[in-house]
Amino acid sequence: MDSKLPATGTTIFAVMSSLAEECDAINLSQGFPNFNPSQKLLDLVGQYLNSGANQYAPMPGVPALRKAIAAKVQTLYGRSVDFESEITVCDGATEGLFSAIQAVVRSGDEVIVFDPAYDSYEPSVTLAGGRTIHIPLITSSDKPDFHIDWERLKDSVTNKTRLIILNFPHNPTGVILSPDDLDKLADIIRQTKTFLLSDEVYEHIVFDGAAHESLLKHDELWARTFVVSSFGKTYHATGWKVGYCVAPPALTNEFRKIHQWVCYTVITPVQHAIADYMAQTPDHYSELPDFYEQKRNHFCQLVAGSRFTLRPTNGTFFQILDYSEITDEDDVTYAKSLTREIGVASIPISVFCEQPFANHLLRFCFAKDDHILEEAAARLCQL
Q: How far is the CB of 31 from ligand PMP (least distance, A)?
A: 5
Residues that bind ligand PMP (CB under 6 A): 31, 92-94, 118, 167, 171, 199, 201, 230, 232, 238, 241, 243
| Non-local CB neighbours of 260 within 8 Å, separated by 6+ positions | 59
Q: Cβ of residue 256: shortest distance to ligand GLN, in angstroms?
A: 23
Choose the one of ligand PMP, ligand GLN, none that binds residue 93, judging by a C-beta under 5 to 8 angstroms depending on kind: ligand PMP
When the beta carbons of 13 and 285 are compared against ligand GLN, the nearer one is 13
Residues listed for the chain = 383
Is 153 in contact with 300 (CB distance < 8 Å)? no
CA–CA distance, 275 with 81 (Å, rounded to integer): 16
Q: Which residues contact residue 134 at a Cβ distance below 8 angstroms, ignoring those fewer than 6 apart?
A: 113, 114, 115, 117, 353, 354, 355
Question: Do residues 296 and 366 touch, judged by C-beta distance below 8 A?
Answer: yes
- In the DSSP assignment, the letter for residue 83 is H
Q: Please give the residues from 160 up to 189 whose contact with ligand GLN meets the rule CB under 6 A.
A: 171
Beta bridge mates, 111: 132, 163
20, 28, 30, 289: residue in contact with ligand GLN (rule CB under 6 A): 30
How far apart are alpha carbons 20 and 340 in whole angstroms? 8
Residue closer to ligand GLN by CB (options 109, 199) is 199
Is residue 77 within 8 A of residue 246, CB to CB? The reply is no
Cα 372 to Cα 73, 270, 298, 376: the distances in Å are 34, 29, 11, 6
Establish whether the linkage from the previous residue to 123 is cis, with ω within 30° of 0. no
Q: Which of positions 247-286 make contact with ligand GLN (CB under 6 A)?
A: none
User: Which one among 15, 31, 205, 346 touches ligand GLN, defined by CB under 6 A?
Assistant: 31
Residue 199 binding: pick among ligand GLN, ligand PMP, none (C-beta 5-8 Å cut-off by kind): ligand PMP
| Smallest distance from ligand PMP to CB 94, Å | 3
Element holding 20 (H helix, E strand)? helix 12-22
Q: Taking the complex as a whole, how short is the minimal distance between the CB of residue 27 and ligand PMP, in angstroms?
A: 15
Specify the residue, 222 or 318, whose C-beta has the smaller distance to ligand GLN. 318
Closest distance between ligand PMP and the C-beta of residue 91, in Å?
7
Task: Determine whether 75 is exposed, middle or buried from the number of CB atoms within 10 Å of its CB (0-12, 13-18, 19+).
Answer: exposed
Nearest alpha-carbon partner for 351 in 340, 365, 362: 362
Q: How far is the CB of 318 from ligand PMP (least distance, A)?
A: 9
Q: Could you tell me which residues come within 8 angstroms of residue 43 by beta carbon, excluding any fewer than 6 positions away?
A: none
Q: Which is nearer to ligand GLN, 171 or 225 (CB)?
A: 171
Q: Is there binding between residue 61 and ligand GLN (CB under 6 A)?
A: no
Closer to ligand PMP by Cβ: residue 299 or 318: 318
- Bridge partners of residue 244, in order along the sequence: 89, 229
Binding at 13: pick from ligand PMP, ligand GLN, none (beta carbon under 5-8 Å per type): ligand GLN
Closest approach, Cβ 246 to ligand GLN, in A, equals 20
CB of 92 to ligand PMP, least distance (A): 3
Instruction: Give the torsion through C-alpha atoms of 229, 94, 125, 154, to 10 deg.
Output: 20
Pick between residue 30 and residue 265 the one whose CB is nearest to ligand GLN: 30
CB under 5 to 8 A by kind: which of ligand GLN, ligand PMP, none does 197 bind? none
Assess 13 for contact with ligand GLN (CB under 6 A). Answer: yes
- Residue 214 touches which of ligand PMP, ligand GLN, none (CB < 5 to 8 A by kind)? none
Which entry of ligand PMP, ligand GLN, none binds 30, CB below 5 to 8 A by partner kind?
A: ligand GLN
Our CA angle for 195, 217, 171, nearest 5°, is: 70
Beta bridge partners of 318: 365
Residues that bind ligand GLN (CB under 6 A): 13, 30-31, 171
